[in-house]
Structure 1
Amino acid sequence: MSIAILGAGAFGTALGISLTQAGHGVTIWARDPYAVSRIRDHRSSPRLPGVRIPDKLCAVTNLQDAASADIILVAVPAQSLRKLLRKIEVPLDDKKIVLCCKGIDLETGLGVAELTRQAAPAAKIAVLTGPSFASDIASGLPTALTLACQDPETGRTLQEALSTPVLRLYTTTDTIGAELGGALKNVMAIACGACIGAGLGNSARAALMTRGFAEMTRLATQLGAQADTMSGLSGLGDLTLTCTSDQSRNFRFGLSLGHGEDFEPSVTVEGAATARAAAQLADRHGLSLPITQAVASLTTGDLTVADALDQLLSRPLKEE
């Protein structure tokens, strides 16, 4: 099967490196000609400094050529997904589409799988998510991810096609849980970064992670996810990694909020839009998600870190 990756950011490029090194023929698409030329001519990417890209990884700027592959891995930011799907002119109904983006669409409130299903109703859609940093995958370090697909047979086919000696994929049919775990943990990473940046300490971070995980599970199960999925790689596993390392862009963004500093505007922070989308969903379903709502207000500038802390600490005492 031919494999294409749409998106030459750090994660998409890292997947391309891993799959190519495992012997697969892989094409990676980028809309930026400079990114393609860096891969073609210099076998490098500014998103993965110090990592050499295999000669056999083919980089293109023609979206339709890339989208003609049998398996399409989509690794663009979640807020760009709808726009990208509209640009694809080749038929997608016979394709296996693996979504590697993490987020909730701010305009529609939909997860990435449902957005893709609306654009390609007959496509076989899967979600690839879990605790992983692009630099680890690109460097060949062992990584375990969740591959969620509602059709078990397609899930097994993709598991065999995309697993490598160092990239281990575990399957589930719970696409809702997998995509929401991957999306909502970014919100909690911002909260934890702000906590550490404000000097509140690791005990406060542990409390935020624990209560944040409860919020993630509350919203995800309300939307149809299985609670067990949230306790797996795509939920608790990804939450643990993202909330405890400054390799996470969302955590670093939170750190900057805690320090009262500006954050690099060119860096994609999926959790900011996801926090606002999740807060809207919580209101729609009558759910109390105080950490999520605080992060949403932090990202829009409607709340300071000090005010957010006061709000969270002044909530009524209750049983856990």
Structure 2
Amino acid sequence: MRNLLSIIGCAVAAFFILTPVQAQNYVPIDPAAKSETGKANASTKNLVTERLGLDLFRTDIKSLAALPADKAAAFPECSPVPSINDVSGSLDYRRTLLSSSAAIKLGIPVVNVSTTGNQMVLVQDYSRTKECLASDNQTRLLYGQTIRTIITIANFDAQANLTLPAIAASATIGGKSNSLQIQILGFSNPQIPIIVSGISGKELNVETYGEFAKIHSELIRLTADAATTPSMTRLGIVTVEEPDNLKSNVVAAFALQQIKDGKSCNDAKANYRQPSEPSANAIDQTYGFVMSTCSSVAPNAEHKAKALDYLQGLKIKYSIL
């Protein structure tokens, strides 16, 4: 068990080494989900987005009941499409949690890993994007390039930690089945299909996580390779967070300050004056993201450093009296 936990710890370290800045809020969609008639039959009006953590969003789909369960919806397009010169710099990072049915309607490939239980799909994007207004003059889309990791998780636990190292540990220790797929959108290089084939389709567990981290690092390196040809691909649809999500963002900032100040998750919840508000869940989520747990354990130096980095020079003042 000690060796197993050591491997998990190394995997977590590798994950955070690869983690760049966070991206804006958008829902990933299939670039090929286009309307043959030129009229979009899905838009932001069909999407409900909730922030679950610093870079984690959950999206549900509504008003598409008439769409066949196994078909992707069509989404609008921009004309003209942003150019390659519109995107540059480091890759942004975000994660989206979807039900299997929502993923299918967004055109995200789903693997059936269980016939029972609550199956969910986690989409992780490392992307460079440019926003544009679609031809319907209402919908805002993101075009660019991304390294997209799609994990179908069987018997999903709503309280689960949704970082990739935690998913790998859950598969190994808790027997939670999953299936991992990688899509490279907007990048072309002869090496990419060979690299991706080494991990795509496998289960993400402690043994394969090291392999995944290495492959992911190689893919990130290839984005700047001279032999890589970039293109602009429609990656997602920009969504607007509800006011309650904005409240959660404020509480998440409070939790980060508490971590930076050396307070445990239990201490932070005791210090927060509105524990019955739904936004208070952001405390658990923030501690889960930074420390992988919400407990009486005080943050260590590494946790404090991460919280300080996410605060980006801000100091959150909150009276606990």
Identify whether the pair has TM-score above 0.5, normalized to the shorter chain: no
TM-score (norm. length: structure 1): 0.28
> Relative contact order, CA 8 A, sep 6+: which one is greater?
2
More helix per residue: 1 or 2?
Answer: 1
